[in-house]
A and B are shown apart, each in its own frame.
Chain A
Amino acid sequence: MIGAVLAGFIAALFAPWIHRAARGWAGWLIALVPAGLTLYFGAHLERLAGGETFSAVYAWVSSLGTDLAFRLDGLGALFALIISGVGALVIIYGGGYLKGDPQLGRFYAYVLMFMGAMLGVVLADNLITLFVFWELTSISSYLLIGFYHSEADSRASALQALLVTGTGGLAMLAGLVLLGQATGTYTISEMVTQPQAAQSSSLYGAILVLVLLGAFTKSAQFPFHFWLPGAMAAPTPVSAYLHSATMVKAGIYLLARLSPVLGGTDAWQISVTAVGGVTMVLGAYVAWRQVDLKRILAYSTVSALGMLVFLLGIGTEYAVKAALTVLLAHSLYKGTLFLVAGALDHETGTRDVTRLGGLWRAMPWTGTAALLGAASMAGLPPLFGFISKEVFYKAAYDAPDLAGPLTAAAVTGSVFMVTAAALVSLKPFFGARLETPKHPHEAPPSMLLGPVVLAGLGVLFAFVPSWVAEYGIRTAVEATLNHAAEIELELWPGLNVVLLLSLLTVAAGLAVYALRVPLQPWADRVDLGARVGPERGYRVLLGGMLWTADRQTRILQNGYLRVYLMTIVLTTVALTGYTLLTRADIEGVWRLPDARFYEIVVVALIVVAAIVVTQVQSRLAAVLALATVGYGVSLLYIMFGAPDLAMTQFSIETLTVVLFVLVIYRLPRFATLTNRAARLRDALIAASAGVLMTSLVLILTADTSRRHVTTFFSENSVLLAKGRNIVNVILVDFRAFDTLGEIIVLSVAAAGVYALMRLRPERERREALPETRATVELSAMAEADPPAEPQAADSGR
């Protein structure tokens, strides 16, 4: 079975080469792959009807309960047949539609890749495997919508579709992982046998919301439906395949597949039915008011998807049966109509229905397919669409709760569907002949095969309803519900309420069609804001994100080192200070020092010198003042009996001053470039950091209970090293290697400094400029606003 899934991907790899070799025939040749798959899945139908299922498991990440598990049951087979069957027709069609396009090879590759991914979705028996293929369908859809990538509109649509479905997909992943946690398994077929595990879990609410988000975004449900009309920027065969027959039905598939696990609760019924119902009515209402053929079809697809969701929400056995019947019918008639729209566009050069008319004579075959498809969409007998419409009404009419409003919604949606159907079939082919940009003639055979076959199947199925019910619908319904079901479909159910509703629907729909021109201004007034609302939300979100990013860049990431340092210091002070104030036991910390007079003098000296550093206007004076701080500290060392430390400190201070004097003549003129406010701010920040550090030291020294080190050394220095000065003993005995190391490091550093001083920058020797760029930067970083932006801050878009 994995072969069936991989076939698409493998074929995708070779498609561009086949295209190059076979030229005009490539479409027919490549279509053999999906056609073969159709036969493969078709061959399983007999045994599936006998109650068998087929599964295959390939180890992947077993440690996480994730395997490449596939399972073919009735539901999967129904989808797989639609996917591979329509796929074959679309590839042949695409060969004609995109004839001469230099990107045709890529078209084949993407479509095949999509087909493989889609088959993966419907055959996967593992939640994670399902997710993986789910995202792959989003990506191939992205590539296909953006196929005409030279158009900005097309690119924006592709991105929009990807962002909406991709985000939904990730939400779904979160939901699926939670579901896996709740039920203890990631295998779908195991999960459906124990529905209570998920529904009684405390995570049920979260799981439901997240999974529904995934399904609703993918299947273009309100309020996420706006991406689908945008996706019409794709070449028409792609719209027919992905955005009508298959990909957008992945959400439906997921709902059907998980309905035994998640369905049946009030939360499920209310949310799913409501969203589906709203989408159904809205989509159909918006559809008939469009003028672009493809947009009419796109909104009617939204409506049909709403219908499917609506039915799955109702959730009765009959509703599930109706959903799957509608699904099959929709794939046939909507595929037909999309391909017809593509043919019209291709042959006449326009998709605007107001500019099309009277084409029957020029394009009889296309016209026939269009009529059959539209009649099926409108639910006219004797077509399969009629049967599906009947079961759809009956499911709403027999709904356990709120049957009245549900039926009303179903009828309202369907009325506008009839109008839309008339609009795409009657308008272009009949009436007065209108001038079109191109001279119209019949489409080539490759572009006729698809619509004719799909329309033909719509007729054929209507005459063998029991066969369809037995091999297509029943097994799928049983797989969905996870128990045996009785399914009957008939072309003529007899005179009943449902049939009356159907008659009413067709009459009303045609009336709206006839009166569409005078009705239009009225309809515009009742614009439900549906088309603009959610899309504006998307724009605002996207814009907001860009704005935030831009702001952040300007304010925080401005390239100035001191701003970075300020942020870091402030964060540390805030976090540590907060902990300090809320958690620390600071009693006994604030104490008067037991200090002698000259110690106080030295400390005062240090404080004064530190203040001087910040105030003087001469660099040399600042360095000297800084050195005073250092010398002061050394003095303290001496007073506390650490002459060696004092010596080290003395020499380092001296060295620093000397080094500084060496470079000082190369620094630019000292200038005060910050204003008072900035200096005050800096002073406050510096003071807060100082207070924090002081407090830490005080707290540390207040705790006298831990003096492991001192005790150890005072006990052992005479004993082990024969010396009384602990510091000396540590330096030359206990840590002799460290001392040796330090000496080496110091001498290496000294050698380095010497070498650096001799190696003046090449540039300097070359140009002999008094001020080098490097020093300008150095000083800029050290003290003030640089003359120019130090480094291009993030450039906004």
Chain B
Amino acid sequence: MFEVPSLSDLNVGATLPVTLLALGACVLLVVDLFIPRERKSITAWLTAIGIGVSLVFSLLSLSGAVEFGSGELAFSDMYRADRLTDTINVAALITALLGVMVAYDYLERTRLQRGEYYILLMFSAAGAMLMGAANDLVIVFIALELLSIPLYILSGFRRPQEASEESAMKYFLLGAFASGFLIYGIALIYGATGTTNLPEVWDAVAGVVAEDSAAKFLVMIGAGLVLAGLGFKVAAVPFHMWTPDVYQGAPTPVVAYMSVAAKIGGFAALVRVFGMGLSTFVLESGAPAAWQDTIWLVAVLTMLLGNVVAIVQSDLKRLLAYSTIAHAGYILIAVAAAGTAGLEDTAAQAVVIYLIAYAFTNAGAFAVITAMEKDDASNTSLDALRGLASRCPWLAAAMAVFMLSLTGIPLTAGFVGKWFVFKVALQADLVAAAVVGVLTSAVSAYYYLRVVWMMYFEEGEGDAATPPALAWAIGVAAVGTLVLGALPYLLSDMAREITLAFGG
């Protein structure tokens, strides 16, 4: 234990996708200093290349064509490179790539083109990836901060625009608060189990439960606080309140990226912590894990609130903010299902499938808003959509695809995600949650289709500009949404082998 470990002991190879990305960001930070202000597009390209390289490594690892490193564990059991890690990596990197593409022209025309933007984005992507790979509560925390802090800064990137500054401030203050919850929760779990290593926590919790000591209570409060901390990240009710304000104020490309990346990271961590670490926290033998009820209740509240409140929104960014809250609710159902013994793997698969489907759809939807937005951040209201279809038929068609996918209409990726989530919920006997999910999906049709309606059936001056990079991003997202919807086995095959090493 007190030997200085060598690189091979650390098994750095297994962590290549994320280490390459983080190293790339560090190097770029320096390189960027030598790139003149007016040519920061070079940084964007370098970032894209960096993300691309990391993506290639992730895909190679996912396909099993190349085995990086030796074994799954790295950095003294802190990092776990398994199937879940690979899929989360791919999702996070695709999101990051879309994020760069969406931002490129926007930053140019709003005169915000700075290298830091891309570098911060890279760091936060690394954070999201790490959350999926966390094998230790400490990594969960560090990764969460790595994911969040760049996002706080990015939200305020449109300084000195007030809305942007305000959103950054709010996000940071509430985020810091949530981090406090999380670390307190981790401390309590550590206090009860004497370890922060997730598989060991899993073991120890089983012992704590068997022993029936006061430590049981510590685990309970700890789990609750961790849920609060991570619930903030994924915008679950009642920790969702920052979402509409921040999404409306932050620069749209940032929202396109963070609305997805923060969810990927947050849910990956939830699956790791609850599915893998705390699934033995069963208070009566044969019952599901003690946290299951809480999580599905939170899910139900989240779905109800997100969907119902979205109806009255008149600003697109705000509307989609509530929609992201609603979607957090759907994914939370799957997380709750992981509390039923034997369903941990299936639930994790459903979460990943939903996240990937959601990544294309939601990033795409915000990309379309980016295209509509004027340089002064106006023109994002629902009314601005009027007549968009006649002026920008392709853009409107893409937006329609995204809206249908968010509604969960068959033949789009969104349907596949919901299908897997509801299926696992029914397997876990969470019938009430699944029924609320289905009903709120019906409610959501109301506001998503209003967007389609505005574009196609209302007359107006709706207009947008789609420079090449943005057009590519929207195209990729739309095609991805449709392809994954039409060929769902692409997703299910990719996710099928996800196992949480310690599922029952």
The residues of A that contact B311 with a CB separation of less than 8 Å are 545-546, 549
B438: Cβ under 8 A from any A Cβ: yes
- Is there an interface contact between A794 and B312, defined as CB atoms closer than 8 Å? yes
- Is there an interface contact between A777 and B442, defined as CB atoms closer than 8 Å? no
Most chain B beta carbons < 10 A, residue from A63, A549, A583: A549
A548 to B458, CA, bound (A): 27
- Is there an interface contact between B217 and A579, defined as CB atoms closer than 8 Å? yes
The residues of A that contact B294 with a CB separation of less than 8 Å are 575
- Is there an interface contact between B453 and A155, defined as CB atoms closer than 8 Å? yes
A397 to B217, CA, bound (A): 69
- Is there an interface contact between B314 and A703, defined as CB atoms closer than 8 Å? no
A763: Cβ under 8 A from any B Cβ: yes
The residues of B that contact A59 with a CB separation of less than 8 Å are 489
Q: A150-B459, A174-B435, A708-B194 are in contact. Are A564 and B241 (CB under 8 A)?
A: yes
The residues of B that contact A149 with a CB separation of less than 8 Å are 453, 456-458
Residue of B nearest to A178 (CB): B426
B215: Cβ under 8 A from any A Cβ: yes
- Is there an interface contact between A162 and B160, defined as CB atoms closer than 8 Å? no
- Is there an interface contact between B312 and A170, defined as CB atoms closer than 8 Å? no
Per-position 1/0 for A579-599, Cβ under 8 A of B: 110011100000000000000
Q: Which of B178, B214, B435, B458 contacts A703 (CB 8 A)?
A: B214
- Is there an interface contact between A706 and B457, defined as CB atoms closer than 8 Å? no
A548 to B305, CA, bound (A): 9
B341: Cβ under 8 A from any A Cβ: no
A706 to B215, CA, bound (A): 10
Residue of A nearest to B314 (CB): A795
- Is there an interface contact between B214 and A62, defined as CB atoms closer than 8 Å? no
The residues of B that contact A553 with a CB separation of less than 8 Å are 309, 312
The residues of A that contact B49 with a CB separation of less than 8 Å are none
- Is there an interface contact between A170 and B439, defined as CB atoms closer than 8 Å? yes
A604: Cβ under 8 A from any B Cβ: no
B163: Cβ under 8 A from any A Cβ: yes
- Is there an interface contact between A62 and B435, defined as CB atoms closer than 8 Å? no
Per-position 1/0 for A761-773, Cβ under 8 A of B: 1110000000001
The residues of A that contact B419 with a CB separation of less than 8 Å are 64, 128
Per-position 1/0 for A461-491, Cβ under 8 A of B: 0000000000000000000000000000000
The residues of A that contact B472 with a CB separation of less than 8 Å are none
Give the contact-size bracket for chain A: 35 or more
The residues of A that contact B411 with a CB separation of less than 8 Å are 132, 136
- Is there an interface contact between A552 and B305, defined as CB atoms closer than 8 Å? yes
Q: Which of B218, B224, B493 contacts A700 (CB 8 A)?
A: B218
> At the interface, is chain A mostly helix, strand, loop or mixed?
helix
Expressed in whole angstroms, the minimum distance between the Cβ of A693 and any Cβ of chain B is 9
The residues of A that contact B213 with a CB separation of less than 8 Å are 703, 705
Per-position 1/0 for B453-468, Cβ under 8 A of A: 1001111000000000
The residues of B that contact A580 with a CB separation of less than 8 Å are 217, 221
Expressed in whole angstroms, the minimum distance between the Cβ of B444 and any Cβ of chain A is 10
- Is there an interface contact between A545 and B443, defined as CB atoms closer than 8 Å? yes
- Is there an interface contact between A703 and B215, defined as CB atoms closer than 8 Å? yes
Residue of A nearest to B488 (CB): A61
A653: Cβ under 8 A from any B Cβ: no
Residue of B nearest to A129 (CB): B410
A440: Cβ under 8 A from any B Cβ: no
- Is there an interface contact between B422 and A564, defined as CB atoms closer than 8 Å? no
- Is there an interface contact between A545 and B166, defined as CB atoms closer than 8 Å? no
Expressed in whole angstroms, the minimum distance between the Cβ of B357 and any Cβ of chain A is 13
The residues of A that contact B492 with a CB separation of less than 8 Å are 61, 63-64
The residues of A that contact B192 with a CB separation of less than 8 Å are 706
- Is there an interface contact between A579 and B160, defined as CB atoms closer than 8 Å? no
B165: Cβ under 8 A from any A Cβ: yes
A173 to B244, CA, bound (A): 31
A335 to B173, CA, bound (A): 64
The residues of A that contact B225 with a CB separation of less than 8 Å are 572, 576
- Is there an interface contact between B220 and A579, defined as CB atoms closer than 8 Å? yes
A580 to B224, CA, bound (A): 12
A445: Cβ under 8 A from any B Cβ: no
The residues of A that contact B426 with a CB separation of less than 8 Å are 177-178, 181
The residues of A that contact B471 with a CB separation of less than 8 Å are none
The residues of B that contact A167 with a CB separation of less than 8 Å are 439, 442
Q: Which of A585, A778, A791 contacts B163 (CB 8 A)?
A: A791
Residue of A nearest to B490 (CB): A61
Residue of B nearest to A149 (CB): B457
Expressed in whole angstroms, the minimum distance between the Cβ of B478 and any Cβ of chain A is 16
- Is there an interface contact between A162 and B445, defined as CB atoms closer than 8 Å? yes
A763 to B161, CA, bound (A): 11
B424-441 CB contacts (< 8 Å) to partner A:
426, 434-435, 438-439, 441
The residues of B that contact A166 with a CB separation of less than 8 Å are 442, 445
A548-571 CB contacts (< 8 Å) to partner B:
548-550, 552-553, 556-557, 559, 561, 563-565, 567-568, 571
B162: Cβ under 8 A from any A Cβ: yes
A128 to B423, CA, bound (A): 12
B501: Cβ under 8 A from any A Cβ: no
A64 to B225, CA, bound (A): 35
The residues of A that contact B221 with a CB separation of less than 8 Å are 576, 579-580, 696
B228: Cβ under 8 A from any A Cβ: yes
Q: Which of A557, A576, A763 contacts B244 (CB 8 A)?
A: A557
Residue of A nearest to B446 (CB): A163
B499: Cβ under 8 A from any A Cβ: no
Residue of B nearest to A795 (CB): B314
Residue of A nearest to B312 (CB): A549
Per-position 1/0 for A176-206, Cβ under 8 A of B: 0110010000000000000000000000000
- Is there an interface contact between A163 and B445, defined as CB atoms closer than 8 Å? yes
A163 to B444, CA, bound (A): 10
- Is there an interface contact between A162 and B449, defined as CB atoms closer than 8 Å? yes
A182 to B316, CA, bound (A): 42
A146 to B455, CA, bound (A): 13
Expressed in whole angstroms, the minimum distance between the Cβ of A391 and any Cβ of chain B is 37
A781: Cβ under 8 A from any B Cβ: yes
B409: Cβ under 8 A from any A Cβ: yes
A718: Cβ under 8 A from any B Cβ: no
- Is there an interface contact between B441 and A170, defined as CB atoms closer than 8 Å? yes
A142: Cβ under 8 A from any B Cβ: yes
- Is there an interface contact between A585 and B214, defined as CB atoms closer than 8 Å? yes
- Is there an interface contact between A177 and B194, defined as CB atoms closer than 8 Å? no
The residues of A that contact B504 with a CB separation of less than 8 Å are none
Expressed in whole angstroms, the minimum distance between the Cβ of B41 and any Cβ of chain A is 23
A275: Cβ under 8 A from any B Cβ: no
A699: Cβ under 8 A from any B Cβ: yes
The residues of A that contact B456 with a CB separation of less than 8 Å are 149
Expressed in whole angstroms, the minimum distance between the Cβ of A432 and any Cβ of chain B is 41
Per-position 1/0 for B477-491, Cβ under 8 A of A: 000000000001100
Per-position 1/0 for B139-163, Cβ under 8 A of A: 0000000000000000000011011
A571 to B239, CA, bound (A): 9
B210: Cβ under 8 A from any A Cβ: no
A671 to B163, CA, bound (A): 24
A167 to B242, CA, bound (A): 31
Q: A794-B309, A797-B312 are in contact. Are A781 and B169 (CB under 8 A)?
A: yes
A449 to B391, CA, bound (A): 38
Residue of B nearest to A700 (CB): B191
- Is there an interface contact between B238 and A557, defined as CB atoms closer than 8 Å? no
A216-272 CB contacts (< 8 Å) to partner B:
none
What residues make up the interface of A, taking CB atoms closer than 8 Å to B?
Answer: 59-64, 128, 131-132, 135-136, 139, 142, 146, 149-150, 155, 159, 162-163, 166-167, 170-171, 173-174, 177-178, 181, 545-546, 548-550, 552-553, 556-557, 559, 561, 563-565, 567-568, 571-572, 575-576, 579-580, 583-585, 696, 699-700, 702-703, 705-706, 708, 720, 761-763, 773-774, 777-778, 781, 790-791, 794-797
A–B Cβ pairs within 8 angstroms, 10 of them? A170-B442, A174-B422, A174-B438, A548-B308, A557-B244, A564-B242, A568-B177, A706-B192, A774-B162, A795-B315
New A-B contacts (7) at CB < 8 Å, excluding given A64-B420, A132-B411, A575-B294: A162-B445, A177-B426, A572-B228, A703-B214, A705-B213, A781-B169, A795-B313
CB-CB nearest 8 A-B residue pairs: A149-B457, A132-B410, A564-B241, A167-B442, A549-B312, A61-B488, A549-B309, A584-B217
